[in-house]
């Protein structure tokens, strides 16, 4: 079955971020740690640190841009993959 995870609780075994065209880059200086990117990421690719700092797990990020759209201070920029 292509594109289907047919065994429950195994989705973390499948890295899904290899086909994106754009990737989010977080400007740590602009980030206010509001965590809206973390809340809205549909793939759980935004990782929350102990100090509420955020980073991106590119193994699971599909490049949808929701994190960048939700960031109130525009600390996340979508850039072309491979650049």
Q: Is a pLDDT exceeding 70 seen at residue 27? A: yes
- Residue 28: band (very low, low, confident or very high) from pLDDT cuts 50, 70, 90: very high
Q: Are strands 54-56 and 46-48 parallel, antiparallel or unpaired?
A: antiparallel
CA distance between the termini of the chain: 33
Q: Is a pLDDT exceeding 80 seen at residue 1? A: no
Asked if 68 and 24 touch (Cβ cutoff 8 Å), the reply is yes
Domains of the chain, each with CATH number or no CATH: 28-80 (3.30.70.20)
């Amino acid at each position: 079955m292509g594109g289907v995870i047919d065994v429950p609780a195994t989705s973390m075994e499948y890295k899904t971020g290899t086909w994106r065209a754009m990737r989010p880059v977080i400007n740590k200086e602009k980030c206010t740690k509001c965590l809206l990117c973390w809340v809205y990421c549909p793939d759980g690719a935004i990782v929350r640190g102990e100090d509420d700092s955020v980073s991106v797990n590119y193994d699971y990020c599909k490049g949808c841009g929701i994190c960048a759209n939700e960031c109130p201070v525009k600390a996340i920029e979508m850039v072309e993959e491979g650049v």
